[in-house]
Structures are given as structure tokens and as C-alpha cells.
Chains A and B, each alone.
Chain A
Amino acid sequence: MSEAGLVWSLLVGLLAVNLLVSVYGIIYGRSLTKKLISLTIFSDTVYVFFIMVGYRLVYPTVPPVYVELTRDQLEYLAKHAVDPVPQALVLTGIVIGMAVNALIGFGIIQAYRLKKTVTARELVGFEEVE
């Protein structure tokens, strides 16, 4: 296996470990705040993986921006720029993730105001009325 391939597999393996740890945190975390932090770690890991999909090991690198639309320029870009699509997608993902995290953060604050605790186990099981 080439050196680059080894580094690549190592990175993917580390990301997989990161995913497992964060899922553990979401499911077994005792405090809601810790669950939220685990959730952000989970989504960030996915974003990093997505960026890696578009990455290419080339040198020299150029930003994927069209300066002038000539044939030479395009060929040079195609050889030396990373794939911009995953970056755009991850940007979208981050915006959406921020909305979800803000909403969950609000929920945790509200739960604390009502029940004076953010421990998941103490927050379940009470009477319901309508």
C-alpha cells in the first residue's frame, strides 16, 4: 500500500472511531448538554468525511474558482483544484445543523427553566394533562 493510501485509511478509521464515540455519547450521555455536544461532534465528523471525498492529493493546489474561462485555465483547474461540490454541500449541511443545534439548545434551556435539571433520567416520567 502506498504512503498516501495508508494515511487515507488511517484518517477514515479515525473518523469511524469518532463517529462511534459520538453515537455512544448521544445515546448514553447523562446530561442533555453532553448529548448536544456529542451530536455536534457526530455531524462535524460527517462533514470532515464529506470534505475528504472531494479532496485530491495534488501539488500545487489552486482554489476551485473560475477566474477566466479559457481552455488552458479550465484544464489547469481540472488538474489542480479540489472538487468544490462537497464543500458547497457541507456548507449547506452546516447551516441546517446550526438550526437544529440552536433549537435543541433552546429546548435544553427551557427544560432547565421548568425542571431545574438537565439530567436526561430526571426529566422523564410525569403526569400529562391537556
Chain B
Amino acid sequence: MKSLVGLVPLTTVLGAFTTPVVYLATKSRRATFAYATLFSLSALVLSLAVAVEVYAGKEVVVYNAGGWPGPVGIVYVVDGVNALLALVTAFLSFLIFVYSYEYIRDSGYPWYLVMLLGAETGLLGVIYTGDVFNLFVMIEVTAISSYGLVMYYRWRATSIVSGLKYAFIGALGTTGFLLALAIVYAVFGSLNLVDIGLKAMGYPGSTVTGGPLEDAALAIGLVLALSLWAFTIKSGVFPNHFWLPDAHPAAPTPVSALLSGLVVNAGAVSLYKVLYLGFSASQLPGVRVVVESVSLIALVTGLASSFLGGLLMVVQADVKRLIAYSTVMNMGFVFMSIATLSPIGVLGFVYYTVVHSLAKATLFLSVGPVIRAAASRRLDRIAGLGRSILPSGAALAVSTLTLAGVPPLPGFLGKLLIYQALFQYNVAAAVLFVVSSAVGLVSYMRLFYVLLVSPPTQTPAPVHAPLMKSVLAVLSALLIASGLVFTFSRSAFDYVFYEPVKAVGDVASYLKSLSTSLYGLPG
């Protein structure tokens, strides 16, 4: 049963490598798409099975790759939080595959499918892994696929130049993270997150990887600074957000949904793993100071990012650029939530990440048919078209209102959780969060008004796309249902979000409980 965890990323990577073969053998668009989508569906089923196993068993599933136990081998550590995030990732990716069948009409589709499966593999790996070097590899797998997907329209100079900008800055960030890993290996002699966490707390850790540390605060500071730099690049958070509003709109619309909904999560999940799980439990005075200052920097960058994203959203004329800036804003919220390093902050991070992924993907996917009907991305050209393309309009309304935080849609609860977490951390930060949220609200309402209320400037060409429309219907129904369930039913919210977060809430005891399963002896 435990081997299922290892199968999840393996399934999609197997699909990625065999899809071109199916294309060459059949030359059939339908068969190639069906084949790739089947692998995405398998990943969804498998990650659902893993989530059921973790939730029903109420325990952390540890998978040793190749049978080598940690800290020697690569381990996948799946707790409730990881299982939930992976399930959302697999679910959205599957819907994006279905949507792409009607959207991607040119001859590059086999390679498109390969890269889409590659990005899904990387994301699932980032979420499941409990090994920092494997985290680096999986971030790179996601990143390379995303660079390729941004450059998909290779006859358009915009796509190529945006993709190059993304690739240069992304490669700089991940190589910086590799430098951080070199320091980690030099100091801790280990790449296992649990082992590193225990050693940073002053425990002996594994005997295989060397004895306990004297004082590693300086090295930990370097590691955290380099990691934070890399993760802000991956998530498009303030000083490194500038590639995102170029790269996300340049890609085909389903890819924009994948990038803005899921790929940006890779940075946030990595920050949660390295900063929160890895080092936040340490009570050593030197390490404590370093962790607190890095988390303060993460909070400030998150805050700056949310203000910048919110303010620049207002002036955009291109609908996809507007949504891309909204991603900059929302990732700022997520970073702020993680930076509080409190259990409620993690609860806010998990809940808001899930909601943002669903809503942002829905928003991008719902403007797809509108853009196609109007043959333009300019807001003044697509005004009022939301009403005439029905499931699109409904999905647009639901996702915009979710992101704006209107109750009882799920976004409201997410903002409330982040507000609570920030209020405990620092009242000023909480107030600034509300202000930046209000700045964003203006732009969401503008988007809502322009697309759904203002009079149409043109009559759209009819869009015949039953799959795209059903994907949108499923997503908007899911958003409304989850909003109603999680806002009004405390027990459902507790079961899905609160219980898993409570398990990782006390990091010290979480790491100690894992050390038993990793080394066979208590830490």
C-alpha cells in the first residue's frame, strides 16, 4: 500500500516520455490526447488513494525510494497537508488536460502534452518530497517544463522573449538554491529534511550523517537567505515578481491557468518545507534569531508583493496581465501567512493555497472562451462578453468574487484565517493586509463589471467547446460547494484542513515522531 506514494510522480513522468511514441505511432490527435490525459487521470486516482490512506489512517506515510531508508535514501513524507495539496494539484492538472483538447489546435500538441505532464510530475514531487536535494530536482523539473510551455507559441517573439526572461531568472534562482544545498551538506552532512531539522534543534540526528552541531547559525542564515531568494523567484513574490506578468499571459490560456494556479505554489510549498518544517522548531538562540529575521523579511516581501500586485492590477488593459498581477498579490498573502511561522499561519497557507489554486485556474480558464470569441485580450474589446458565453460568465463571476473575498465563497474564510494569523504576529501587518486586500478588491470588481455588467461592444462569434464549458461548470460548482461547506460546517473544515495542520503544528514533536520511522529509533 505504501508504494502508492512513489507511484504518483512516476506515473506522470512515464506518461511524459511515452506520449511522443504514441503520437509517432498513431499520428492521431485524439489518441495522443487521450493517452496523456489517461496518465493525468491515473495520477489523480493515485493521489486520491494516497489522500484517503493518510486521512483515514491519521498517520504520516513515509515512502523510501528504492527501499533505502532516510537519511541515506530519498524519502517521500506524506502527511495530511501534502496529501491535500497533491490531490488539488492532480485534480486541476487533469481538468487542464481536458480543457486543452479543445484549446490547443496547432501541430505542436504532442510536445505540449509532454511538458504539461512534466510540470505535473515536478509539482507532485515538490509536494511529496522530504529530501531537500530531491526538492531542488523537482523544482527544476517543474521549471524546465514551464519555460518550455511559456515559449510554446514559438513563432511569436513575445512568447520567446518572456520565456527567456523567465528561464534566465529562474535558472539563477534554482542554482542559488543549489549553492544553499552545498552549504547544507557541508554543515549538516545530510539532505534529509527531518534529519536537518533535528540537528538544527540541537539533537544528535542520525548517526550515519555525523554528530550534532555546535553552532550553525551563520550557515543557516546563508542557507535561508539563498533559499528565500530562490522561492520568491519561483512564486513571483516582490523583488522577483517582474518575470511573472510577462510570462503567464504569453503562454496559451490553459498553461496560464497551470502556471498561475499551480506552478507558483512550488515556491510557497518549498518555503513552508525549508523555513517552517526545517528550521522553525529550533530553540537554539543563534538559530532562533536567524529564523525570526528571515521570516520577517519573508513577511515584508509578501506585503510589498501584495501592495504592488494590487496597485498594478488597476492600470492593466490586458485581461491576462491583470490576472497575472493578481497572482503576484495572492502569492504575497501566502508568503505572509507562512512567515508568521505559527500553526494558524500554516492553516491559512494551506487553505488559501487550495482556494487560490482553484479560483485562479478557474479565472484563467474562463477568460479563454471570451478571448477566443473576441479575438482580443484588451479589456475594452471583451467588455460585456461574459454574459453571452454562459458557463464562462458564471465561472468568471464565481472565481472573481472568490478571489475578492466575498462570503460565503471560500476566499473569504481564507482571508479571515490569514488575518487572524497576522493579527497574532503583528497588528500592523494585519491592518496592512486588510488595506492591500481592499486595493485588490477594486480591480476584481472592475474585472467583474467590465466582463459581466457593462454593455457589449461587439457580438461575439459563437464558441463551440463542450469540454471547455463542462470543465468550467465543474470548477464553478466546486468553488460554490466548497465555499458553502467550509464556511458553514465546522466539522468538515476541521476534518479536511484543521486536523492535518494540527499534526504539523508542533514542528518539534512532528519531527521527533518522524525520526522514529526514519531511523527506527526515537530522536
B contact residues around A100 at 8 Å (CB): 140, 143-144, 147, 167, 171
What separation, in Å, do the CA atoms of A100 and B164 have in the docked complex?
11
B164 touches A42 (CB 8 A): no
The distance in angstroms between the C-alpha atoms of A32 and B165, with both chains bound, is 10
The answer on a CB contact under 8 Å between B168 and A39 is yes
Q: Which of A68-107 contact B (CB under 8 A)?
A: 85-86, 89, 92-93, 96-97, 99-100, 103-104, 107
Interface size class of B (residues with CB under 8 A): 35 or more
- The docked-state distance in angstroms from the alpha carbon of A130 to that of B250 is 9
Whether B168 lies near A128 (C-beta < 8 A) is: no
Instruction: Decide: A123 and B185 in contact? CB cutoff 8 A.
Output: no
Taking a contact as CB atoms under 8 Å apart, the answer to whether A43 and B182 are in contact is no
Q: Is B294 in the interface zone, CB < 8 Å from A?
A: no
Partner among B144, B164, B181, B249 whose Cβ is within 8 Å of the Cβ of A108: B164
- In this complex, which of A42, A46, A107 has the most chain B Cβ atoms within 10 angstroms of its Cβ? A107
Whether a CB of chain A sits under 8 angstroms from the CB of B2 is no
User: Is B495's CB within 8 Å of the partner chain A?
Assistant: no
Q: Give bound CA distance, A96 to B178, whole Å.
A: 11
Interface centre among B154, B182, B250, B375 (most CB of A within 10 A): B182
What's the A-B contact tally at a CB cutoff of 8 Å?
A: 100
- Please, which residues of chain B bring their CB within 8 A of the CB of A115? 157
The answer, yes or no, to whether A124 is at the interface (CB within 8 Å) is yes
Quick check: A124 and B161 within 8 Å, CB to CB? yes
**Contacts of A108 on B, CB cut-off 8 Å?**
164
State which of A49, A54, A103, A114 has its C-beta within 8 Å of the C-beta of B144. A103
In the complex, are the beta carbons of A129 and B172 less than 8 A apart?
no
Residue of B whose beta carbon sits closest to that of A128: B158
| A32 to B161 CA separation, bound complex (whole angstroms) | 10
* Chain A neighbourhood of B178, CB < 8 A: 43, 46, 50, 93
Q: Taking the complex as formed, is A66 at the interface, i.e. its CB lies under 8 A from any CB of chain B?
A: no
Contact of B171 among A39, A85, A92 (CB under 8 A): A39
Q: Is the CB of A92 within 8 A of B137?
A: yes
Bound-complex Cα distance A113 to B365 (A)? 31
Q: Could you tell me if A128 and B318 are in contact, using CB atoms closer than 8 angstroms?
A: yes
- Contact, CB under 8 Å: B161 / A46: no
Given A46-B178, A96-B137, A104-B167, check contact A110 B160 (CB 8 Å).
yes
CA distance A96 to B155 in the complex (A): 26
Quick one: which of A46, A99, A107 contacts B151, CB cutoff 8 A? Answer: A107
B residues near A54, Cβ cutoff 8 Å: 185
Q: Chain A contacts of B140 at CB under 8 A?
A: 96, 99-100
Q: Which residues of A contact B161 (CB under 8 A)?
A: 111, 123-124
| B175 is an interface residue with CB less than 8 A from chain A | yes
Interface membership of B483, Cβ < 8 A: no
Q: Are A104 and B164 in contact (CB-based, < 8 A)? A: yes
A124 to B158 CA separation, bound complex (whole angstroms):
8
> Is residue A53 within 8 Å, beta carbon to beta carbon, of the partner chain?
yes
Q: Which A residues are CB-close (under 8 A) to B191?
A: 89
Are A130 and B376 in contact (CB-based, < 8 A)? yes
A106 → chain B, closest Cβ, in Å? 8
Inside 8 A of A85's CB, which chain B residues have their CB? Answer: 185
Q: Is B163 an interface residue (CB 8 A)?
A: yes
**Nearest chain A residue, comparing its CB with the CB of B153:** A130
Question: Within 8 Å of chain A (Cβ to Cβ): is B186?
Answer: yes
Alpha-carbon distance between A108 and B182 when the two chains are bound, in angstroms: 30
What is the CA–CA distance of A128 and B158 in the complex, to the nearest angstrom? 7
Q: Report how far A120 CA is from B148 CA in the complex, Å.
A: 19
B164 pairs with A111, CB closer than 8 A: yes
| B155 shortest CB reach to chain A, Å | 7
Distance in angstroms from A116 CB to nearest chain B CB is 10
Within 8 A of B (CB), among A25-46: 26, 32, 35, 39, 42-43, 46
Leading 9 A-B pairs by shortest Cβ distance: A50-B182, A53-B186, A114-B157, A107-B164, A96-B140, A43-B175, A46-B179, A111-B160, A123-B161
Additional A-B contact list (14), CB under 8 Å, known A96-B140, A103-B151? A19-B179, A46-B182, A49-B182, A50-B181, A53-B186, A92-B133, A96-B144, A99-B140, A103-B148, A104-B167, A107-B147, A108-B164, A129-B377, A130-B371
Residue pairs across A and B with Cβ atoms less than 8 A apart, 13 shown, are A19-B179, A35-B168, A39-B172, A49-B182, A50-B182, A85-B185, A89-B181, A99-B144, A103-B148, A114-B157, A126-B158, A129-B376, A129-B377
On A, residues with C-beta under 8 Å from B are 19, 23, 26, 32, 35, 39, 42-43, 46, 49-50, 53-54, 85-86, 89, 92-93, 96-97, 99-100, 103-104, 107-108, 110-111, 114-115, 123-124, 126, 128-130
